[in-house]
Structure 1
Amino acid sequence: MTRHAKHIFKLDPAKEIDDSSLERIVKSGTDLILVSGTDNVTEENVSKLLRRIRQFDVSAALEISHPDAAVPGFNHYFIPTVINTDDVTFSHGMLVEALMEYHDFIDYDSVSLLPYIIMNQNCKAFKHAQCHAVEDEEFIAMIHMLDKLYKMDYIYIEYSGVFGDRDLVAEAYEAAEHANIVYGGGVVSEETARRMDSVSDVMVVGNIIYDDVEQALKTII
């Protein structure tokens, strides 16, 4: 994710995508391909997907969900930190583990923290990261904390699989003075993309790629 990116396609290395669909996604005009997944992400399947992506001229980033799945060759790397987790492992524990092992090899100019606020209580990521539900007041306080105190470049509001509360996302967008608001969840058409486009800096589109490539392509507006 770079500061100019408006649209991102997220590809899961643990999911199957045929060559034709991958080519259409990668050559669609999206600003960035983000390789990211929750379950069964391995060095092998990340490397395989990267090789397929590298057949085309496109920027690609890796979200490092586990240190063992970090592979070279991406333009940028994101290390997720979940803000509403109740388990320190998912806030900074894995980051510390990664730095203990890889500090001497890391180009810090190509690595960024990516703070998540996971809002959909029914999604896999919410349960995997042992999150707690966030009330509106706490949510906005988190936005102010990340934006004004931590001065993060990005804040990822994740609804994962469902279309989120647009009014709440808009409130976060208005509150953020420095950070880019990244939105993910339920963007499955031109209509849903347009609804979130005006209240976020970056939209991430993922699940619909595997259900309907045609609809996924319509999210680029």
Structure 2
Amino acid sequence: MRHLFKLDPAKVLPDGAVDRLVRSGTDGFIIGGSDGLQMDAVQDLFRDFASRGLPVFMEVSDEAMIVPGASQYLIPVVLNTTDVKWLLGAHHGIVKQYGDFIPWPHVLVEGYCILNPDAKAAQLAKANTDLTESDVAAYASIAENMLRLPIFYIEYSGVFGDSRMVQAARDELVNTKLWYGGGIRTIDEAREMSEIADVIIVGNILYEDFEQALETVSAVL
């Protein structure tokens, strides 16, 4: 797996987008968002993609994202948060309430490192984004060696990130997969980050320039 499109239930895709995205060559889809999440919109979007033969990952940042039948459920743990709620607090509450119904074999935990201070995700999670390369490397090492997480996700959310930060994480990771998301709008940007990260996630450009979004897949083929 090298390329994923991230779909926001609070936004509207162009007509005919589902078929074209499925045929684009991408490896799958993440459904997720930070705000404006409505359960009906989440379920409609999931149904549009769930039977198309590609993995659909539900990123559970809110109860509205809990939809039966996903390929995997991605659980974000914000490693650079300053609020324990986004490290384990919210997770404890959900497991306490719904633990008997959680399909644990289909759950993957993402160790997030959010680096764009202006991003809604950073503000919501109260992330400390004033980090150096060595800070990011340390978080990556924690994800790999202490927490044994399957995914370390560097998130710039809306702006194209600093490849030096991504490389600092790459140098620490062996078994934990490095995912990168944020501001990929061109083939060149997709190629730059795909040369460092295991998986690149393309999101906002889907709603700004759909044709250009499709072209990002070719960077990993």
Q: Larger deviation: 118-127 or 52-61? A: 52-61
> Tell me, which stretches of 5 or more residues in structure 2 are unaligned?
none
Question: Is 2:130 the counterpart of 1:138?
Answer: no
In the TM superposition, residue 55 of structure 1 has moved relative to its aligned partner by 4.8
Q: Among 176, 184, 187, which residue is 2:184 paired with? A: 187
Query: What TM-score do the two structures reach when normalised by structure 1?
Result: 0.94
Q: Supply the distance in 1 between the matched residues of 2:96 and 2:11 (Cα, whole angstroms).
A: 30
Whether the 8 Å contact between 2:78 and 2:114 is mirrored in structure 1 is: yes
Taking only the aligned residue pairs, the percentage that are identical comes to 36
1:147 paired to 2:155:
no
Q: Note if 1:109 corresponds to 2:105.
A: yes
CA contact (8 A) 2:134 2:168 kept: no
Tell me the distance in 1 between the aligned counterparts of 2:79 and 2:176: 15
In structure 1, the partner of 2:153 is: 156
* 1:205-220 to 2 correspondences below 5 Å: 205-220=202-217
Match of 1:175, SS? coil
CA RMSD of aligned residues (A): 1.3
Secondary structure of the corresponding residue to residue 188 of structure 1:
coil
SS state at 2:113 partner: strand
For residues 116-161 of structure 1, give each alpha carbon's deviation from its aligned partner in whole angstroms, at most 9, with x where no partner exists: 0000111111111111122322221111111112111110000111
User: Which SS does the other structure have where 2:12 is aligned?
Assistant: coil
Question: Quick one: which amino acid aligns to residue 174 of structure 1?
Answer: D
**Cα shift readout 1:25-65 (whole Å, capped 9, x = no counterpart):** 23212111100000011321110111111352221010001
Shift of 1:67: 2.5
Show the counterpart of 2:76.
80
Which of 95, 108, 115 aligns to 1:119? It is 115
1:60 corresponds to which residue?
56
Equivalenced residue count is 217
Contact 1:36–1:63 (8 Å) recurs in 2: yes
Which residue of 19, 23, 26 maps to 2:22?
26
Q: Does the 8 A contact of 2:32 with 2:65 survive in 1?
A: no
Give the Cα–Cα distance (whole angstroms) in 1 for the partners of residues 30 and 198 of structure 2: 16
List structure 1 runs of 4+ shifted beyond 6 angstroms: none
